Structure 1
Amino acid sequence: MSNKMIHIPENPVSRFLFSSTGAGWIWLIVRLYVGYTWLTSGWKKVNSDAWTGENAGAAVTGFMQGALAKAEEGKDVSSWYAAFLENFVIPNAKAFSYVVAFGEVLVGLGLILGLLTGIAAFCGGLMNVSFLFAGTVSSNPLLFVLATWLVLAWKNAGWYGLDRWALPLLGTPWSAKKKHSTDSSESIGS
């Protein structure tokens, strides 16, 4: 068995879309659309009494009870997800209310500003999937697909945004800068 590494080249379309800064303008349009959708939705929730006011948790409880009713009818909601909603989400509806409302605003801001775009898109996609599991279609399938593409394009999706400067400063865990030793006994290339 050979230890020779096999290199399969990336196709030019994928390389352009997911690695080239030239595709940044495409992702800017997608980011602004998805970000605006999340920001406006979250802002309405943040300013709603049923989400973050005195009655915080009421909207989440009502939404989850609707999902449980669908599960009982055998429609659109899996039994395992219904159990999660009933045993974890509804008892913690107030906390989930704040997480959803402010999470939507933060995802929207992250995408609009192009700051930590991949992470913001992932969190938005996670919320989309949660809503889909709860039996709500609406714009969630489209937003999930676009969020997934933004996650795949994390290297260049924020090029026309703050990621252009933030990502080089923050770096990535797999490309941590090696510390240079001043010890002269260390050989170069070791």
Structure 2
Amino acid sequence: MQTEKNRINVGHEIVIPENPVSHFLFSNTRSAWIWLVIRLYLGYEWLMAGWGKAFGAKRDNWTGENAGAAIQGFIKGALEKAEAGKDVSGWYASFLEDFVLPNAKLFSYLVAYGEVLVGLGLIVGLLTGIAAFFGGFMNAAFLFAGTVSSNPLLFILATWLVLAWKVAGWYGLDRWALPYLGTPWDRKAKA
């Protein structure tokens, strides 16, 4: 006999009870120290990468007088890889050539300041899931362009932080911001 507690079908929804490990990692604040370590590492990496581009030694080719020069060089390298049939898909090469390259200056600012904002968001633990999502999005863009480096590791860590969004910022500003801001789906339910 099936009880309400272990039912899998509830109306039109399939409800599968969460396993204890994922519950601990993604919903229990006792796991927040794990996410704090990952968050601080990832945030530091993003902040340092963006700081040099936005304010430091690399500024001239990213956000300074020659803004867009670094992006143009990066894209030309990716296009060469695509022509050689290595590491870069044809559809992504077309996107880079037809959309990003003509707007290199804009993308230069987006990358530089985006990296800084992702880094700051992760370090202070504010909107951690959103910051990690955009960090992972940039990692994916770099991977599609054929740049491996540390991008696979950073992408995996960002994905984990996105999954742990409820507790990843517990030792940070999310502890107060998330209850105050709420969630869009919660606000609709109360309306």
TM-score w.r.t. structure 2 length?
Answer: 0.91
1:55–1:174: structure 2 CA closer, same or farther, 3 Å change rule? same
The answer for unaligned runs of 5 or more in structure 1 is: 180-190
Question: Which residue is 1:93 aligned to?
Answer: 104
Q: Deviations over 1:124-162 (max 9, x none)?
A: 000000000000000000000000000000000000000
**What amino acid sits opposite 1:7 in the alignment?**
V
2:82 corresponds to which of 55, 64, 71: 71
Counterpart residue number, 2:33 = 25
TM-score normalised by the chain length of structure 1: 0.91
Distance in 1, Cα, partners of 2:53 & 2:29: 35
Distance in 2 of aligned mates of 1:14 and 1:128: 25
Alignment correspondent of 2:179: 168
CA-based RMSD: 1.5
Deviation at 1:3, TM superposition (A): 3.4
Cα offset, 1:173, TM superposition: 0.8
CA change 1:46–1:11 in 2 (3 A) is: same
- Cα 1:86–1:165 change in 2 (3 A) is same
1:153 is aligned to 164
* Distance (Å, rounded) in 2 between the aligned partners of 1:5 and 1:86: 44
Deviation at residue 174 of structure 1 after TM alignment: 1.1
Say if 2:22 is the partner of 1:14: yes
Task: Please state whether the residue corresponding to 2:172 is helix, strand or coil.
Answer: coil
The structure with the largest alpha-carbon Rg is 1
Look up the SS of the partner of 2:46 in the other structure: helix
CA separation in 2, counterparts of 1:4 and 1:174? 18
1:4 deviates by: 7.2
Unaligned ranges ≥5, structure 2: 1-8
Distance 2:10 2:16 in 1: 17
Q: Distance in 2 between matches of 1:127 and 1:118?
A: 14
The CA deviation string for residues 94-123 of structure 1, in whole angstroms up to 9 with x for no partner, is 000000000000000000000000000000
1:113 aligned to 2:124? yes
Q: Which moved more, 1:170-179 or 1:39-48?
A: 170-179
**Corresponding position of 2:46:** 38
Q: 1:114–1:62: structure 2 CA closer, same or farther, 3 Å change rule?
A: same
Structure 1 residue ranges, 4+ long, deviating more than 6 angstroms after superposition: none
Matched residue count? 179
- Once residues 2 and 164 of structure 1 are traced to their aligned partners in structure 2, the CA distance between those partners, rounded to angstroms, is 32
Match of 1:185 in 2: none
**Hey, what's the Cα distance between the residues in 2 that align with 1:2 and 1:43?**
50
Aligned-residue offset at 1:8: 1.6
For 1:138 and 1:126, how far apart are their aligned partners in 2? 16
Letter in 2 for 1:9: P
